[in-house]
Structure 1
Amino acid sequence: MGQARLRGTTEQRKAAAIDRQLALRPKFITCNNCQAQLTDMSPMDIAGLDGIQAAFTAHCPACGHDTYAIKGEREAVARLHMAIEDNVGAEAKAGVVPAANRPDPAA
């Protein structure tokens, strides 16, 4: 029997992957354009993106700018960042989610 089958059905494995990503969701993303704190964010589909643990996007209602939060290996994050730039056709600013913004593992 294959290892994947031991971890559950396809639906169970997908649900577990989504749960793992949502557990890494920051409390907010700071807009790279106007610095507003954005709490309404959507998880990005990271299936097949090796080295990416979680990715979220938020649209700023104040300035209309899209901002992304990406967690993963440095090289994989850089590749996804470049892919986003290619997709939107503009240079994207990189930022960092401060440790205080990360979810409390005890919560």
Structure 2
Amino acid sequence: MGNDDDVADRRKVLGSLIFAQIRGGIPQGVAFSMSSLLAAAMAGAAWGGMGAMLTTLGMPAMAWIEIVLFIAVGMMFAVVRRRSTDEARLRRGRR
């Protein structure tokens, strides 16, 4: 019986994650489009793709910073800290 509940919970979580991924991708697409149109209108057609290019290059740069922080601090620190706050919240009767 517990296994059926786990499957249902996983489907809900997966559906939420898929929705969040789609919802997060729409503003990013708008940012690419608007930055390209704005750059082309202000500086000419040659600069039209600069906004999208810089945004695309900025993402790996931010990921690199996160990787360095995870290595320096340790990923388990974040996991353990989250687990301990969740346990404290459950002890107080909150979810």
Same fold judged by TM-score > 0.5? Answer: no
Structure with higher Rg: it is 2
Could you tell me the TM-score, scaled by structure 2's length? 0.27
The answer to which structure has the higher helix fraction is: 2
